[in-house]
Structure 1
């Protein structure tokens, strides 16, 4: 009888294991982060804006939109937290006046040299600015108009989709609308005529398995495309809350509305800061980094950070 009981128990265990793969998976949810470095106010710039993640360094733009519209670019070592305000090599000073609101940027290597493409959100002048950078110095090397159906467009988000021997393909974004745009690889001026690609479903998105009642009133920030995994990361902010939605199976050929991944989401609800705005995100070494506008009663606490535990 003992042998029979053990056989029955073993059969039951194997049967239980056999159904595990069909069991519902738990949603992956990330709501904690580590600080990499602070990005304090400097040269009268107070607002964190565009962000980009390179293989070794993280880049965060801070600006002011009054007066001369100056902006600075911080470079932060993602491993050590060492930071420096990059030098504007064009004008030989610590800040520049070309980037407008500088709401978002993406990195593109052209002929072995690194470049930022920054959206200005300006209705006049350039809507996209190109900077070449080497070490801690950058230079203004290009500017472009962006149009939609012949009229000036000022998208708030930009991310690289693909680079060929002749062409750069971008996603641009305004609110829930994503656009396609292309640029000749070595062009330093011209017009980018964007076209509508697809919409993002936001209000019905699941965050930690549940909808957020006021998600439709959150502000849209930057956008980041992981081309290797055809995945789009979209940060949204409101007061002391920031959410990052993740959209899968995204390509430039898509035309249908994209629904966010119900099993992967990010949210920070800060008790330490009355304002906690994730401005932009980016992957580096498989980890998801971001920059913030953070504030409390004691003042500004902007910085660059990384989500704990998450890896691609």
Structure 2
């Protein structure tokens, strides 16, 4: 069931209270701690874990992997409209699942020759670290697989985002923990090795959330999103029922060293409703500029509460 008319306001630190959002006339700055439901992504058989996420112009895409983590996954298509979220179809066998995606921790979208593609990181230390799927409408098909190496050794990266797509190549950012790497592929390649090099590290110590320092001890690094047109990187971290998103500005493919988070923009959800509220990954919609994300959510009695949401009040 669509939940777009239902708004959940969650205070950061004080239950039931809505704190400040962006000041008028300052789009893209401020403190954001409320969200709106966009659509549910319920469990499909044993596919119970929300993981990778990407935002298209009209749809959000969220992956759920199987609890035994054997590489089987389903992909939800969640519209920015009145349609009901759908489980996409694997065009290779007309099923609703796909094998071999590993943990499927993060994904990005790249349009190549007019065809849309998902690039998904498996987090596997053997075999393939990136899978390439073409998709049209509600159907996808695996068309490529790649190994990722750093200095000749396999690297099980946990995050991926496009940086630049041209007719001849695709440049990516990859992430492992808080370290970001860069690598490239020929635009039409379907096999091969992506050799990555370290670009920069995302500093989290001393981060300000809501204008105050936050202790991020014990928080888990999730996916990330790079907004190439704005040169802004969004980095979610989670712990139990708390999710924060740190923002890094003026990020480019030539950035190096240690990058400090913005002091004027931050996000936090402290959920009173859910005992687990993990923002897995996120993305900006090119039409409305809003920041969408997917969640792995549960209560003490219900683990089937994952979905797609959007931060209220924020426009990139």
Alignment TM-score, normalising by the size of structure 1: 0.89
CA contact (8 A) 1:172 1:180 kept: yes
Which stretch shows the higher mean deviation, 216-225 or 271-280?
216-225
1:93-135: per-residue Cα shift (whole Å, max 9, x none)? 1101121000000000000000000000001111000000010
Indicate conservation of the 8 Å contact 1:37/1:305, yes or no.
yes
Q: Distance in 1 between matches of 2:36 and 2:200?
A: 33
Tell me the equivalent position of 1:38.
40
* TM-aligned CA deviation for residue 256 of structure 1: 2.0
Q: Deviations over 1:173-195 (max 9, x none)?
A: 01110001100000000000100
Give the alignment partner of residue 93 of structure 2, picking from 87, 91, 94.
Answer: 91
**Counterpart pick for 1:305 among 306, 309, 314:** 309
1:48 alignment partner in structure 2: 50
Residues 216 and 252 of structure 1, relative CA distance in 2, 3 Å threshold: farther
SS state of the match for residue 46, structure 1?
strand
Rounded to whole Å, the distance in 2 between the matches of 1:291 and 1:146 is 25
Shift of 1:79: 2.3
Corresponding position of 2:223: 222
Aligned to 1:279: 280
CA distance in 2, matches of 1:217, 1:194: 28
Cα 1:286/1:219, change in 2 over 3 Å = same
Q: Which residue of 2 aligns with 1:6?
A: none
| Rounded Cα–Cα distance in structure 1 between residues aligned with 2:82 and 2:228 | 27
Determine whether 1:212 maps to 2:194.
no
Aligned residues: 285
Paired with 1:310 and 1:118, the residues of 2 have a C-alpha distance of 27
Aligned-residue offset at 1:92:
1.9
Determine which of 118, 124, 127 is the counterpart of 1:125.
127
Matching of residue 246 in structure 1 with residue 247 in structure 2: yes
Distance 2:69 2:237 in 1: 28
Match of 1:150 in 2: 152
Query: What root-mean-square deviation, in Å, do the aligned CA atoms of Structure 1 and Structure 2 show?
Result: 1.1
Q: Deviations over 1:52-93 (max 9, x none)?
A: 010000000000152743100000111225211000111221
Q: Matched residues in 1 for 2:103 and 2:83: separation?
A: 26
> How many Å separate the matches in 2 of 1:110 and 1:144?
17
Structure 2 residue corresponding to 1:187, chosen from 183, 186, 189: 189
Q: Secondary structure at the match of 2:140?
A: strand
Question: In the alignment, does 2:165 pair up with 1:167?
Answer: no
Distance, in Å, in 1 between the alignment partners of 2:71 and 2:132 is 17
Question: Is the 1:198–1:257 contact (alpha carbons within 8 Å) kept by the matching residues of 2?
Answer: yes
Q: Secondary structure at the match of 2:44?
A: coil
Q: Which entry has the higher C-alpha Rg, 1 or 2?
A: 1
Is structure 2 residue 270 aligned with structure 1 residue 293? no
2:138 aligned residue: 136
Match of 2:270 in 1: 269
Tell me if the contact between 1:105 and 1:118 (Cα under 8 Å) persists in the aligned partners.
yes
Structure 2 residue aligned with 1:4: none
**Contact 2:148–2:193, Cα closer than 8 Å, also in 1:** yes
Q: Helix, strand or coil: the match of 2:205?
A: coil
